[in-house]
Chains A and B, each alone.
Chain A
Amino acid sequence: KEKHKILHQLLQNSTSPVDL
């Protein structure tokens, strides 16, 4: 999990960090 920390976070976030 640690290896893909950001991907995990992006997948778990209900809202995206990017301005869509």
Chain B
Amino acid sequence: NPVPESCSLLEIEHIIQSVVKSHIETSQYSTEDLKRLAWSLYSPEETRSHQTKSAEVMWQQCAIHITNAIQYIVEFAKRISGFMDLCQNDQIILLKAGCMDVLLIRMCRAFNPINNTLLFDGKFASPQLFKALGCDDLVSAVFDFAKNLSRIQMSEEEMALFSAAVLLSPDRQWLTDVQKIRKLQDKVYMGLQRCLQKEGVSDEKLAKMVSKLPAMRSICNLHIDKLEFFRLVHPETAFTFPPLYREVFGS
């Protein structure tokens, strides 16, 4: 897309810097941490011990991890130049609707495609470890998504800009200032295009990233469905989930 007159190259460079800095500062694990932990796997005994936990205990554990990750994502959003200029209603809508998407993008940094494992609580876990959740379809969808996204081999810069672009989706329901968000998202996408152009792979790689959006949305919806079902079966446990988790994924 041509650069609109209102958006100078300087502005695009500024947003790239802001988003990338924000991503690096708010990643739970640095690339060095991930390299160091790459071969730290759950033993078969440890996997079995997770599998024999009750659904309530395993859900609680996952809810706590997701909540921790959300706090970092809120901080990521806050540090994106322009996000805090939006009204607080829109900031909350964007975070509620987009934090799971950003979490999924961030997850692919912590995914090892060689052995199909994902970093969970300090060690790499296979999908079978999450059996006690009783959500095999959701777990496989998350692992498949991480596998497919990691195939694109995004750089940290690209991942940062893609996360910001997804977070700043102007099509979320109940937003007040759609135009302002669209402008900000356009700027982020232009920043992403600029980064990709430097690599000489622009259109193809961007198209691959954007093609993952429907899968992301379907995983987010599946997570909400599973949570609602869990809430029906175990209302007391669901009530003890971290308040931030309940706030973000509440109806």
CB within 8 Å of B: which residues of A?
Answer: 3-8, 10-11, 16-18, 20
A11 vs B72: C-alpha distance when bound (angstroms): 12
Q: What 9 A-B pairs have minimum CB-CB distances, sorted nearest first? A: A18-B71, A16-B75, A10-B74, A6-B244, A4-B92, A7-B92, A6-B247, A11-B91, A6-B243
Specify which chain B residues have a CB less than 8 angstroms from the CB of A16 in the assembled complex: 71, 74-75, 78
B25 within 8 A of A: yes
Q: How far is the CB of A7 from chain B (nearest CB, A)?
A: 5
Q: Give how many A-B residue pairs fall within 8 Å (CB-CB).
A: 42
Partner of B88, one of A5, A6, A8, A18: A8
- Name the residue among B74, B248, B250 with the largest chain A CB count within 10 angstroms: B74
Partner of B75, one of A3, A5, A8, A18: A18
Residue in chain B with minimal CB distance to A15:
B75
Given pairs A11-B88, A16-B75, A16-B78, 6 additional interface contacts (CB within 8 A):
A5-B247, A6-B247, A7-B92, A10-B244, A11-B91, A18-B71
Specify which chain B residues have a CB less than 8 angstroms from the CB of A3 in the assembled complex: 247, 250
Encoded as 1 (CB less than 8 Å from any A CB) or 0, chain B from 69 to 99 comes to 0011011001000001000100110011000
B173 within 8 A of A: no
Specify which chain B residues have a CB less than 8 angstroms from the CB of A11 in the assembled complex: 74, 78, 84, 88, 91-92
Q: How far is the CB of B123 from chain A (nearest CB, A)?
A: 21
Please classify how large the interface on chain B is, using the bins under 10, 10 to 19, 20 to 34, 35 or more: 10 to 19
Specify which chain B residues have a CB less than 8 angstroms from the CB of A10 in the assembled complex: 71, 74-75, 244
A11 vs B75: C-alpha distance when bound (angstroms): 8
CB atoms of B244 and A7 under 8 A apart: yes
Residue in chain B with minimal CB distance to A17:
B71
A6 vs B249: C-alpha distance when bound (angstroms): 13
User: Which B residues, 200 to 251, have Cβ-Cβ distances below 8 Å to chain A?
Assistant: 243-244, 247-248, 250
Specify which chain A residues have a CB less than 8 angstroms from the CB of B247 in the assembled complex: 3-7
Specify which chain A residues have a CB less than 8 angstroms from the CB of B88 in the assembled complex: 8, 11
A20 vs B74: C-alpha distance when bound (angstroms): 12
